[in-house]
């Protein structure tokens, strides 16, 4: 089983990229973030034409998440029920008895901003939501753009990013609290001492200079850890014409 996550940074712009990537890689499940499409504008037919079911939670201009699957998608839940917010950042579904939760987590802007305070509230709500989901679903995968680089190895220049948004001690503690629920950071689990980046700023030629952050993650429940075989980042997509600033992360399970 191959499961992937990709922040496409506008599905309207990156639909050809997404269809190409699906046909070339044939994942069983692909979670998408930052669709930037209204609910009624989602290109369901394009995915159906290449054999994928779809569930989505759309929003124009910002946000929006989706799950694509070769197998039927059941028990769909959009948003964190207790949060009662307008931003479309969560979609969950059950596929082949696995609970798949796609998240586009709050960025936070800067650590002294109101958006950072909102990020803290949002992560606390996510923690409680996942705690409940894990109690009900022993086989759970939480994947997406978390907007947190968990450790210094996930940052091209830890000193430069020290105490900045995406890399602050506060955010890393929120990420650790998710792991403490019984989740495992799949890429770090298999490659604990290797630097892998998933996002490169469009500015200052950061991708060509290999200056990135790892902020896109696939977290798995303990029941799935023994079946985990491989995790990788498809860096090549970041070099495509008009690319997303993120690259797909792929996990392979037995």
* Catalytic positions: 104, 145
Q: How far is CA 66 from the centre of its chain?
A: 10
Distances (CA, A) of 13 to 37, 53, 115, 202, 234: 10, 21, 27, 15, 19
The sign of the torsion formed by the CA atoms of 239, 241, 246, 250 equals negative
Helix locations, the chain, DSSP H: 11-25, 44-48, 114-136, 158-161, 169-179, 186-190
Question: What does the alpha-carbon distance between residue 121 and residue 190 come to, in Å, rounded to a whole number?
Answer: 31
Distance CA 55, CA 74 (A): 9
What single DSSP character describes residue 64? -
Q: How far apart are CA 59 and CA 41, in angstroms?
A: 9
The β-bridge partners of 184 are 220
In whole angstroms, give the CA distance from residue 115 to residue 107.
Answer: 8
Q: What is the dihedral of CA 19, 48, 25, 64, to 10 degrees?
A: 60
In sequence order, what DSSP letters do the residues of 189-203 get, joined into one string?
Answer: HH-TT-----B--TG
Distance CA 126, CA 110 (A): 20
């Amino acid at each position: 089983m191959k499961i992937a996550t990709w922040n496409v940074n506008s599905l309207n712009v990156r639909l050809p990229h997404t269809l190409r990537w699906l046909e070339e890689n044939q994942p069983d499940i692909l979670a998408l973030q930052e669709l930037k499409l209204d609910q009624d504008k989602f290109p369901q037919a394009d995915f159906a034409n290449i054999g994928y079911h779809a569930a989505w939670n759309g929003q124009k201009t910002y946000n929006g998440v989706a799950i694509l699957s070769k197998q039927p998608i059941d028990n769909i839940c959009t948003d964190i029920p207790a949060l009662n917010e307008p931003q479309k950042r969560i979609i969950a579904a059950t596929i082949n008895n696995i609970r798949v939760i796609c998240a586009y987590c709050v960025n936070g802007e800067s650590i002294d901003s109101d958006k950072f305070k909102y990020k803290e509230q949002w992560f606390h709500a996510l923690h409680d939501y996942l705690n409940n989901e894990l109690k009900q679903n022993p086989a759970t995968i939480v994947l997406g753009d978390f907007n947190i680089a968990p450790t210094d190895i996930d940052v091209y220049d830890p000193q430069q990013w020290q105490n900045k948004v995406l890399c602050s001690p506060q955010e890393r503690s929120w990420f650790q609290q998710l792991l403490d629920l019984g989740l495992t950071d799949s890429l770090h689990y298999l490659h604990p001492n290797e630097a892998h980046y998933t996002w490169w700023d469009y500015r200052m030629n950061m991708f060509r200079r290999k200056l990135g952050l790892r902020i896109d993650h696939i977290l798995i429940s303990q029941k799935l850890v023994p079946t985990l075989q491989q995790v990788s980042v498809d860096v090549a997509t970041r070099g495509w014409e008009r690319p997303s600033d993120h690259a797909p992360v792929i996990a392979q399970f037995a």
